[in-house]
C-alpha cells in the first residue's frame, strides 16, 4: 500500500481532510498531525480557515471552498491538485439533520449539495489517492434506497429523511469507488452519535473512537485497515444498508451526480 503507516515505522502519509475547521474533521487532523503526518485542511471561508490553522498548528496548509457550490467545489479540487500528490482523502464535511429546506445557488438542496454531490465532485477531480474515507452515519439505514426524487422536488420536505438519504448516498459512493477503482481502498465510516456541534452535548457515543477510526483508515498498515468496500464503526466493520451493494443502484446514483454536476468520474 505504500507509505501509509503510523509513525513508529518512520514513514509518513499526506492527507487532505474536508470540513476540518471544527468537529470530527479537526480532531482527526490534530491526531494525524501529532503523529507526524502531513495534513492539509479545508474550510469554507477565510475566517473558518484561520480557526482551523490555529487549532492544528502543525498542518501543512489549507484550501478554501464552499462545498455547497459546484464551482467552489471544483476550485477546491484544483487547489488540492496544485499542492501535489496525496496518499488519502477523508471526506468529512457535512451539514446536519436540523437544516430547513434551502436551495443553493445551483438550485440544489443544501444538504444534498454538501453531503453528497461535493464528495462525488472531489473524488472525480482530485488526482487519485491510495485511500478514500467517506463519513456516513447510522441514520443511513433509514435512507431511501430507491434513489428517486434526489432533489426533493416531489416529496414534502422532511429534514431527517433528507439527511439520512445523503448519508446513504455516501456509502453508495464509497462502495462504487471500491468496485470501479480496485487499486484504491475506499471505505465508509460511521463515527457514531458523538458530542460534536452537530451531534449535541448529550450524544452517547465515544468521540475519540469517532475520529480515530477515520484517521486509522487513512494511514494504518494494519490488515484490518488495508481493505476496501467496507463500512466501519469504531474501527470494526459493521453491516451497511444492503442496497449499497447493488451495482445497478450504484450506477444510477453515479449517473445522477454526473448529470447534476457536469463532472464525470474517471474510469
Q: Quick check: is 236 catalytic?
A: no
CA distances to 17, 92, 186, 238 from 29, rounded to whole Å, are: 7, 11, 19, 24
Grouping H, G, I as helix, E, B as strand and the rest as coil, residue 29 is helix
Rounded-to-integer distance, Cα 266 and Cα 264, Å: 6
Neighbours of 96 (CB within 10 A): 16
Cell for 104?
A: 443553493
Bridge pairing between strands 88-91 and 14-17: parallel
| Residue in 167, 211, 233, 239 annotated catalytic | 167
| Residue in 97, 163, 211, 233 annotated catalytic | 163
Burial 119-158 (b: 16+ CB within 10 A, else e): bbbbbbbbeebbbbbbbbbebbbebbeebeebebeeeeee
Name the nearest CA neighbour of 38 among 73, 94, 85: 85
Q: Quick check: is 239 catalytic?
A: no
Catalytic residues: 163, 167
Amino acid at each position: 500500500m505504500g507509505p501509509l503507516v503510523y509513525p513508529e515505522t518512520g514513514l509518513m502519509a499526506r492527507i487532505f481532510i474536508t470540513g476540518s475547521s471544527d468537529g470530527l474533521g479537526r480532531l482527526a487532523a490534530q491526531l494525524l498531525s501529532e503523529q507526524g503526518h502531513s495534513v492539509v485542511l479545508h474550510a469554507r471561508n477565510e475566517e473558518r480557515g484561520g480557526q482551523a490553522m490555529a487549532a492544528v498548528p502543525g498542518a501543512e496548509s489549507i484550501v478554501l471552498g464552499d462545498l455547497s457550490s459546484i464551482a467552489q467545489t471544483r476550485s477546491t479540487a484544483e487547489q488540492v491538485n496544485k499542492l501535489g500528490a496525496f496518499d488519502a482523502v477523508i471526506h468529512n464535511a457535512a451539514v446536519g439533520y436540523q437544516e430547513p429546506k434551502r436551495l443553493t445557488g445551483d438550485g440544489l438542496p443544501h444538504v444534498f449539495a454538501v453531503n453528497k454531490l461535493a464528495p462525488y465532485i472531489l473524488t472525480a477531480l482530485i488526482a487519485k489517492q491510495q485511500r478514500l474515507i467517506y463519513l456516513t452515519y447510522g441514520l443511513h439505514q433509514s435512507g431511501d434506497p430507491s434513489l428517486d426524487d434526489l432533489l426533493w422536488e416531489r416529496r414534502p420536505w422532511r429534514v431527517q429523511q433528507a439527511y439520512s438519504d445523503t448519508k446513504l448516498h455516501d456509502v453508495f459512493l464509497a462502495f462504487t469507488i471500491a468496485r470501479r477503482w480496485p487499486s484504491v481502498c475506499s471505505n465508509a465510516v460511521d463515527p457514531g452519535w458523538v458530542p460534536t456541534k452537530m451531534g449535541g452535548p448529550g450524544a452517547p457515543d465515544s468521540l475519540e473512537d469517532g475520529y480515530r477510526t477515520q484517521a486509522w483508515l487513512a494511514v494504518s498498515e494494519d490488515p484490518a485497515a488495508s481493505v476496501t468496500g467496507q463500512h466501519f464503526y469504531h474501527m470494526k466493520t459493521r453491516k451497511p444498508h444492503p442496497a449499497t451493494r447493488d451495482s445497478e443502484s450504484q450506477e444510477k446514483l453515479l449517473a445522477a451526480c454526473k448529470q447534476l454536476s457536469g463532472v464525470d468520474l474517471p474510469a
